[in-house]
Amino acid sequence: MSTLRFQPVRPDDAVTLADWLRIHNLIIPTAVLSMDDMHQRVRRNHLTVAYRGDTAVGCSTVRPPADDTKAATVIARILPEHRRQGHGQQLYENALAEAYDLGADVIQTVVLASNEDGLRFAERRGFVEIDRYVLDGDTIPFIDLQLRPR
């Protein structure tokens, strides 16, 4: 397993912004984001790009807990050609630690139903399905999952 370098996404870092957006849009083709969408997300969420050397291999999103709940959403995405090399685990652990540092007591994630690798990854780590929904005009559901308590 090779070690990854985690680069936080900043609103003024065009290269890292573009890497995060490219990875997101490749893994979630049913909910493609624009650069304007990206700028909104980087202001409210904690976004990271994982690099192996100079190659972007994945990205993560941590949605901090809202004021009325202690639930944070942790999403780890690894490009298909870089899966099964331990990168997903490293990216997930990094994002999970960040969520707990932000005060989360409950950890949730969301996976596109057609992403079988992502669903298996989440289930192996103790996530269980809590909801399923389809975005307007789409046919593939998103699955919300929650980590079983420790």
Residue 71 maps to which CATH number?
3.40.630.30
- What is the structure's pLDDT at 31? 87
Query: 106's torsion region: left (phi>0), alpha (psi -120 to 50) or beta?
Result: beta
Q: What is the pLDDT of residues 125-137, one digit of tens each?
A: 999 999 999 988 8
Phi, psi at 98, each rounded to 5°: -65, -40
State the Cα–Cα distance between residues 37 and 55, nearest whole angstrom. 24
pLDDT digits (tens, 9 = 90+) for 8-51: 998 888 999 999 999 999 999 988 999 999 989 999 999 999 99
The pLDDT tens digits for 57-83 are 999 999 999 877 789 999 999 999 999
Q: What is the pLDDT of residue 150?
A: 60
Instruction: Give strand pairing partners of 6.
Output: 50
Q: How crowded is residue 37: how many other Cβ atoms within 10 Å of its Cβ?
A: 13
Predicted confidence (pLDDT) per residue in 73-115, tens digit: 999 999 999 999 889 999 999 999 999 999 999 999 999 999 9
Provide the domain count of the chain: 1
The residue segments making up the domain with residue 116 are: 5-147
Q: How many whole angstroms separate alpha carbon 112 and alpha carbon 140?
A: 7
- Using alpha carbons, list the distances in angstroms from residue 110 to 17, 29, 107: 21, 14, 11
Q: Which amino acid is at 131?
A: D
Residue 3 — pLDDT band, cuts 50, 70, 90?
confident
Whether the predicted model's global pTM rises above the 0.85 cut: yes
